Amino acid sequence: MTYDIPLLVGGLALLVLSGEVLVRNAAGMAVKASIPPLIVGLTVVSIGTSAPEIFASVQAALAGNPGLAIGNVVGSNIANLALILGVTALIHPVKVDRSVVTTDWPVMMAGTVMFGLFAWDLVFTHFEGTVLLLGTLALISFLIFRSQKARRTAAPDADESDGDFERFAARPFPLLLLGVAVACVGLYFGSEWFISGARGIAVAAGVSDHIIGVTVVAFGTSVPELVASGAAAVKGQSDLALGNLVGSNIFNIFLALGATSLIEEMPVDPAVLTDDLWWMGGIALLLLPMMLHTAKFQRWKGAVLLGLYLAYIGTVL
């Protein structure tokens, strides 16, 4: 226990920092390769912000702690919609883009249903991991198609550039490649330390891997989204928060869980089916009427979502 908390905190810090470095350098490489910034944002950045969840889940599975891996995905998805969206809406109301209602939300619900179906026999198999990864490829293809269609129908003088991407794209290619490599190394060691610390705390506290996964690990890997969304809300730029959080949930299921299941078949804690799945699905369902009502997440909706997250944590603990 003496070294578990420093390992947990140090691993989390390295995960967050490495994820940020990966996103910026990978985005710079993509822009340098003449990939439009809009597509970079929808693909490279979306996947990059899920990197902590992906690395932490894979590391947990390889370490023989599937409860941490599955709990991380479920807990992160609940935290994204209840905790992070709730806090963001409390700081500044969040507008709802029409594409989130018509496209992103249905895809997230489909992923949630697939999660439930695959978990029903209490094991995620290699075949199911393959299906989820194929779903990831289909999703990325669709995002690229949708963004290209949006570019064709946009005004000719519409500015789709991202100054941050362009600034990194100005760097030499070898330097960007080195940044990506360093970030991947950081994600590997950060996830290893983070999971080791979480596993040690679970053993010392006498609780299951599953509980630590849906609470400590899930919250830790959601910190990048929490910081980014909170900062955007403080600046009054919270409009993109909803789409980013829903997109993160989609990639958590299809990419993080898919990659983990493909590497290692994972038994599912029965609590996932009796409790967590219903919280994850219920909060995702609640999002629809909230989005349709006034097309905005006002502060009272943020308070409701935050209250639901606290209630969920109360049931887990």
Q: pLDDT value at position 161?
A: 47
Nearest to 11 by CA among 160, 175, 241, 193: 193
**pLDDT given for residue 98 in this prediction:** 86
Domain boundaries, given as residue ranges, for the chain: 4-316
Q: Which residues contact 50 (CB under 8 A, 6 or more apart)?
A: 248, 251, 252, 255, 256
Report which of 103, 65, 88, 128 is spatially closest to residue 302, judged by C-alpha positions.
88
The candidate with the shortest Cα–Cα distance to 41, out of 165, 142, 146, is 165
Give this prediction's pTM: 0.85
* Predicted pLDDT at 156: 47
- Burial of 304 (C-beta count, 10 Å sphere; 0-12/13-18/19+): middle
Q: What pLDDT score was predicted for residue 150?
A: 61
Whether 187 contacts 52, CB under 8 Å? yes
Spatial separation of the C-alpha atoms in residues 301 and 292, rounded to whole Å? 12
Integer Cα distance of 313 and 220 in angstroms:
14
Position 51: which residue type? A
State the Cα–Cα distance between residues 291 and 64, nearest whole angstrom.
Answer: 40
| pLDDT attached to residue 154 | 53
Which stretches of the chain drop beneath a pLDDT of 50? 155-161
Return the pLDDT at 45. Answer: 66
Query: What sections of 154-172 are H helices per DSSP?
Result: 163-169
Question: Minimal CA–CA distance to 228: which of 91, 40, 36, 44?
Answer: 91
pLDDT at res. 115: 97
Buried b (16+ CB within 10 A) or exposed e, 225-245: bbebbbebbeeeebbbbbbbb
Question: How far apart, in whole angstroms, are the C-alpha atoms of residue 255 and residue 14?
Answer: 21
Class of domain 4-316 as given by CATH: mainly alpha
Q: Which long-range contacts (CB under 8 A, 24 or more apart) does 245-248 make?
A: 245/80, 245/81, 245/84, 245/85, 246/81, 246/100, 246/104, 246/105, 246/108, 246/287, 247/42, 247/46, 247/104, 248/46, 248/49, 248/50, 248/53, 248/76, 248/80
pLDDT of residue 216: 87
